[in-house]
Structure formats: structure tokens, C-alpha cells
Amino acid sequence: MKRVTLKISGMVQGIGYRYLSQKEAQKRGFTGYVRNVQDGSVELVAEGREPDLKNFIQWCYNGVGPAEVQKIETSWSNATGEFNDFSMQG
């Protein structure tokens, strides 16, 4: 199991990005969270199988309604198992 931390930049706040990405992550069986960041980006931390997470990153670029994702910075690490579900914060 792996953990990926995404910093998603572009037009991603105020348009349901957190809600839709939370629902998609839950559907895929991931644990973690998604939250808005002060700089206008969205931070998403997900734990799951690496191939599934890679597919999810592609979904994050294209799957979220009217969002206009300009860039996703990714950081990989080993899963910690600290999350019980996938939540939306702030």
C-alpha cells in the first residue's frame, strides 16, 4: 500500500472539487482526506494500491466537473494506515 500527496493547482476551489474528489476516492476504496489550501490549491492525501492511485491522479486532472487543473504536484510515500475513511476537511 502506498500514500500519495497531491497539490492540485488551477481553478479548483469553490466549484465542488473537494466534494467530487472525495466521492471518487471513497468509490475507489481509498482512505485519506482532501482540503482547500490558503494559496488557492487543493491538497489531497490518499492511501491505496499504487496502480489504483495512479489512475486516480489521472481522474483528478480530468474528472472533476468544471475544474481547470493546471498542475498536480505528487509526493509518494509508504501508507501509514492512519485513516479510517476518506474525509473532506475545512
The C-alpha cell at 51 is 496502480
What pTM does this model have?
0.95
Q: What is the rounded average pLDDT for all residues in the chain? A: 96
Q: What is the pLDDT of residues 77-88, one digit of tens each?
A: 999 999 999 999
**49, 17 contact by CB (below 8 A):** no
Q: What is the DSSP code string of 7-73?
A: EEEEE-SSSSHHHHHHHHHHHTT-EEEEEE-TTS-EEEEEEE-HHHHHHHHHHHHH-STT-EEEEEE
What amino acid positions are annotated as catalytic residues? 18, 36
Tell me the domains of the chain and their CATH numbers. Answer: 2-76 (3.30.70.100)
Would you state the pLDDT for residue 62? 87
Sheet of 68-78, strand order: 68-78, 2-11, 42-48, 31-36, 86-89
pLDDT by residue, tens only, the chain of 90 residues: 999 999 999 999 999 999 999 999 999 999 999 999 999 999 999 999 999 999 999 999 987 778 899 999 999 999 999 999 999 997
